[in-house]
Amino acid sequence: MKQYNLCFLGFGNVGRALARLLVAKSGELREQYGIEFRIMGVASRRLGWLANGEGFETSTLLANTSLAEHSSPANNISDWLAAARPDAVFETTSLNPDNGQPAIDYLRAVLQFGAHAITANKGVLVHGYRELAELAQAQGKRLLFEATVLDSAPVFSLFREALPVVKLRGFSGVFSSTTNVIIETMEAGRSFAEGLKTAQELGVTETDPSHDIDGWDSTVKVCALASVLMNVPLKPEDVNREGIRALQPAQVQAARAEGRPFKLVARAKLTGDGNGGKSGDKIVATVRPEQIPAGDPLGNVRGTSLAIHFELDMMPGLTITSHRPNLQSTAYGLLADFINAVRD
């Protein structure tokens, strides 16, 4: 049995869901993997940098009360790491699609300190993946990020563990629950605004809903997948992006009636010799509304569900669908990464 010190960098909805999941799964962690844990630090814009040398009670963290009497404040991430002494840090701060900051700086500090870095922040993969991956390897630690694209569905770990020497030639995906809900609301005869409100009430919308509506969230996910799985550093400005603002209710109703409904589809295709990252390799990538027939691998993705279809050299296609993911799904992706980090 080994006890691990954990820290939460960002403690919003996902971080709180992870704290609850750790408690719920504590028996399995202990019995199946010999893992015990203490939450030694939490940090967020609202809370500041808080550490507790004896460990926080999870019930105290989740209660809407002041944590000041239960912790010692720090001034910055370096002081916070030194006070909390983490073995692993969960990073769930807000997405910055432009440069991935400050999450990249935070994770660099975590790895330099000597802790595993586990993130749900896709901007990190777009703007800092190679640097952080090399740093993690040099430190003998893990940088893991399964929750960044399809919540807890195994995408990155699938290629890392189950598909050795396979070459990814391209992929297509439906990556936005919000745009699914908005389009389907308009199909039912209601307005775009009503669809957005429904998505927000379901809790699937980005803090800034324009990230979903204008395709930025899907674009960043395309770039993250390309950087990690195709070894080509794709940036958001390289993606031909079009959101769903121009879609009208009559237009989406007609598309549904003909059996080819609209979805916001993300696509990427490798050109060149197929040896990702080599000279001459490029990626053609798009995010845009498309009409998808029922027979397409993405044709049955409805509601808040998400999916990705891979084109591989070893098989014509492989599709992964995440059915109705929620906050617990995202939290589970972080938990699974933690287990994999400490048992390797």
In this predicted model, what pLDDT tens digit does every residue of 151-194 receive, in sequence order?
Answer: 889 999 999 999 999 999 999 999 999 999 999 999 999 999 99
Out of 3-7, 269-273, 281-285, least confident range = 269-273
CATH for 50 = 3.40.50.720
125 and 198: one domain?
no
Cα-to-chain-centroid distance, residue 247: 27
Beta strands in the chain (DSSP E): 2-9, 35-44, 48-56, 72-74, 88-91, 116-119, 143-144, 168-174, 240-241, 262-271, 282-291, 306-312, 318-322
306 and 167: one domain?
yes
| Domain around 18 | 2-152+328-343
Among 212, 223, 211, 213, smallest CA distance to 286 is for 223
171 and 316: one domain?
yes
pLDDT of residue 73: 84
175 and 312: one domain?
yes
74 and 103: one domain?
yes
Eight-state DSSP code of residue 93: P
230 and 261: one domain?
yes
From residue 14, alpha-carbon distances to 10, 211, 327 in Å are 9, 18, 6
143 and 290: one domain?
no
- Exposure string over 208-219, b if 16+ CB within 10 A, otherwise e: ebebbbbbbbbb
What predicted TM-score, i.e. pTM, was given to this entire model? 0.92
For the segment 42-52, the average pLDDT, to the nearest whole number, is 92
98 and 180: one domain?
no
Per-residue pLDDT at 294 exceeds 90: no
pLDDT of residue 273: 57
pLDDT digits (tens, 9 = 90+) for 196-216: 999 999 888 887 899 999 999
Average pLDDT, the chain: 93
185 and 317: one domain?
yes
pLDDT digits (tens, 9 = 90+) for 66-118: 776 667 788 999 999 999 999 999 999 988 889 999 999 999 999 999 999 99
148 and 184: one domain?
no
pLDDT of residue 105: 98
Considering only residues 262 and 205, tell me which one the structure prediction assigns the higher pLDDT. Answer: 262
Rounded Cα gap, residues 303 and 154, in angstroms: 20
Per-residue pLDDT at 344 exceeds 90: no
pLDDT of residue 65: 67
